[in-house]
Structure 1
Amino acid sequence: MGLLTFGLNVTLDGCIDHTQGIVDDELHDYWTQLMEQSGAMLFGRNTYELMEGAWPAVARDEKAPRAMREWAQKLEAKAKYVVSGSRSKFPWQNTIKVEGDLREAISALKVKTAKGVLVGAPKLATALEELGLIDEYRIVVHPIISGRGPTLFHGLSSARHLELLSTQRFKSGVQALHFRRKAG
């Protein structure tokens, strides 16, 4: 059974707005490598639609920066699962709708995806965390104080205790933190 890993960029004050970070080749390379290590991607509808609206065009743009294009091309090829109650058709290649009970569907996805699943959707991650389904966390902290929201895991019913496995510092000052859910 593969692990379910939640990964996202956040500012120092917890803002998860994708426009509030430092975007460079080193960061794109980090996320590309993490995606390559996973067997599939998992999105909620909102995040999927943001990705679908941007990355297929970048994958085909020969003038796109190398790191962005490489991320986009590998994302195109990766299996993408989407949780949505309002959308049923997903024309972007390799996209599959998650059907049925969320706990059962994601548990089954973990079982069938030995390399694990990478989820990058904040609202969905909160729901998955409430169900106790997230095994690891890849949180990339940007040295920015945004002063606004939305924030990570807003509304979670109780505290979760994590174990820090590793850190990685980028030239830009960004810090990648790798956590695992603490046993017990």
Structure 2
Amino acid sequence: MRKLIAEIAVSLDGFIEGPDGELDWMLVEKDEDYLKTIKNRFDTIFYGRVSYERFGIAQPDEPFLSDQEKQLNDFIAKIRKYVFSYTAKHLPGNGMLVNENIETVVKRIKDEEGKDILLFGGPDILKTFIDLGLVDEYILALHPRILGAGKPLFRGITNQLSLKLLQTRRLKSGVVILHYRPNQDNSA
């Protein structure tokens, strides 16, 4: 069975965006292996609508993009994408809309042959997937920034979730990667 991996950048004080949706606080890691790792591990991305509209639609090649950004753009253009939204009726780009039977659809996709699935979205889609017990692993990229305000990562989560730390890694930029899996018994 394929794993659903939530990979999320977060500030030290638990925010994924600044108060006005800013992402300029994130440190860009000049890690040549990052794109290679993404390409090798994932063949499908699950997006929330806002994240898809912001990041999931490949942009036309711009001359100012680095080679790594061009490769990422090409990868995003080709990868299979599902967009979870109760409000959208149509999507730009090549994302497939899922607006009902989320648990059934996700379980069917996880049972298909293929690589792991990347969950890329905000706190609303994360909460939905956590509540349905669909997230197999969490990879948090903890950035050494304190925003003071913004969009909290675990907004709306009301039930405790016990996690087991699988791995930590410190990047040159100061970002710390924390890799977790939910405990099987889900007790603290």
Give the Cα–Cα distance (whole angstroms) in 1 for the partners of residues 47 and 113 of structure 2: 15
Aligned equivalent of 1:5: 5
Give the Cα–Cα distance (whole angstroms) in 2 for the partners of residues 110 and 124 of structure 1: 17
Please list every run of 5 or more consecutive structure 1 residues that lacks an aligned counterpart in the other structure.
none
Secondary structure (helix, strand or coil) at the match of 1:145 reads coil
Do the aligned residues in 2 keep the contact of 1:32 with 1:71 (CA within 8 Å)?
A: no
After TM superposition, the structure 1 = structure 2 runs for residues 161-180 of structure 1, keeping only pairs within 5 Å, are 161-180=162-181
Aligned equivalent of 1:71: 72
Aligned equivalent of 2:49: 45
Q: Report the TM-score, using the length of structure 2 for normalisation.
A: 0.87
Call closer, same or farther: CA 1:113–1:16 in 2, change over 3 Å. Answer: farther
Structure with the higher fraction of residues in helix conformation: 1
Give the Cα–Cα distance (whole angstroms) in 1 for the partners of residues 178 and 96 of structure 2: 29
Q: Report the TM-score, using the length of structure 1 for normalisation.
A: 0.88
Aligned equivalent of 2:147: 146
Displacement after TM superposition at 1:41 (Å): 0.2
Give the Cα–Cα distance (whole angstroms) in 1 for the partners of residues 35 and 140 of structure 2: 11
Amino acid at match of 2:11: T
Give the Cα–Cα distance (whole angstroms) in 2 for the partners of residues 32 and 97 of structure 1: 27
Aligned equivalent of 1:19: 24
Structure with the higher fraction of residues in strand conformation: 2
Displacement after TM superposition at 1:164 (Å): 1.0
Amino acid at match of 1:89: H
Give the Cα–Cα distance (whole angstroms) in 1 for the partners of residues 152 and 39 of structure 2: 23
Identity %: 27
Aligned equivalent of 2:105: 105
| Regions of 4+ moved over 6 Å | none
Please list every run of 5 or more consecutive structure 2 residues that lacks an aligned counterpart in the other structure.
18-22
Displacement after TM superposition at 1:114 (Å): 3.2
